[in-house]
Amino acid sequence: MNYYNSIIDTIGNTPLIKLNKVAKGIRGTVLVKVEYFNPGNSVKDRIAVRMIEDAEERGVLKPGGTIIEGTSGNTGMGLALAAIGKGYKCIFTMADKQSKEKIDILRAVGAEVVVCPTNVSPEDPRSYYSVAQKLNRDIPNSFYPNQYDNTANAAAHYETTGPEIWRDTDGRVTHFAAGVGTGGTISGTSRFLKEQNPNLISIGLDTYGSVFKKYKETGQFDEGEIYPYMTEGIGEDILPKNVDFGVIDLFIKVTDRDAAIMTRRLAREEGLFVGWSCGTAVHGALEWAKDHLNDDDVLVILLPDHGTRYLAKVYNDTWMKDHGFLEDRAFKTARDIIRHKNGSSQLTTIGSGVSVNQAIHVLNRYGISQIPVTDDDGHIVGSLTDSTVLNRLIEDPAVKDHPVSEVMDKPFKFVGLDNTIDALSSLIDRDNKALLVRDEKEQIHIITQADLLAAMTN
């Protein structure tokens, strides 16, 4: 008889499938490794079993224990399936930007789900990182896998994903591309493949609002890169230990909109009903491949999960239109505002060391009421508004001779190019008078309350 002892034994050995229509015009061979063939419909099944078995071997997970993890959904599903097979309980914390389908699926397989706010720092006690850690401290006989820093994450891919790709391409793979979140998939897989072929190029796909690309290129962790984005399971506002920048050759950023559109194309044109970050990986990798792939090259792109997690979002026409992701969209985006301002949104800044009096002259000269403040290296470190200056001068007229650094407010928030007017409006308030956005060329633009009013009335 041919059967498996448990669902856990069906994990891995997912197929490579050639892209045809969406890769038209690309030289070489473009293959996707389709991880939704795993029983939990995602690549995270691999690391879930590996982390649990590692914990069992180390004696930190005992019979009857509780597994507690912060997840975007897929790791939770893998852990839940492994827990069912091994007899553990599960509690998962998730950010509220995750799809309702992911939450419902986790509850369906017996897990308890705690939903936490998205737009808080990792150190905030309300973040899904912090809540998971607190539950781990408070609940006896519990285990916190911490997929971000647990080296069993990358080890799972070094031991399984990498060897499968090498075997199934007969050792001909020349390029590997994957989205980067915890970093385990791309780091473990790339490390194995580069040991077989030191010339292999590893491409990390990132999203606007994440810190990875700039950190790889400059070594600088820039908090100014961090702002809300919608694509799930990719990008980070922290540097997980599983991200091995030494084996990732380059990063490419992809917008929420481009990722969503490619995700739908993969379903419609290739029959691959995949998740949102799969669109990120394919769009970014193909854009790079247009100028870099040769006829004999073999590019493998990893597709991490299944489309059922995104039925109410990417695969819902109304949701796509409301968020400006379809051409007949009902809402304008930050991208549209910048484009329609005909370049007038390019940034004017002022140094933190200049006097308040000089700053007033700059505000008057350009006819603006707010301006970002930069340090000597050009990094944005604060903001100045005419109302702040006026209030400080009323309190103390001598302030006009003080440096701007003594009166400036916190920096304006960064937002994504595809954030819609409703989202932008919710971010502008009495404490944050303007927003900043980076375009595809990494140039910074400013969006003010006046810009939003103009966009709403046009």
**Catalytic positions:** 44
Q: Where are the beta strands (DSSP E) in 315-417?
A: 350-351, 370-374, 380-385, 413-415
Task: Tell me whether strands 444-448 and 434-438 are parallel, antiparallel or unpaired.
Answer: antiparallel
25 Ramachandran zone, left/alpha/beta (phi>0; psi -120 to 50): left
CA–CA separation, 86 and 421 (whole Å): 48
Structure tokens at 415: 């937002």
Task: Tell me whether strands 16-18 and 29-34 are parallel, antiparallel or unpaired.
Answer: antiparallel
Residue 139's φ and ψ, nearest 5 degrees, are -100, 120
Task: Tell me whether strands 298-303 and 350-351 are parallel, antiparallel or unpaired.
Answer: unpaired
DSSP-assigned states of every residue in 222-262: -GGG------SS---SS--TT--TTT--EEEEE-HHHHHHH
CA–CA separation, 444 and 192 (whole Å): 38
Token look-up 């922290």 returns 238
CA–CA separation, 348 and 212 (whole Å): 26
Residue 143's φ and ψ, nearest 5 degrees, are -130, 130
Residues sharing a CB contact under 8 Å with residue 432, sequence separation 6 or more, in sequence order: 412, 413
CA–CA separation, 22 and 449 (whole Å): 39
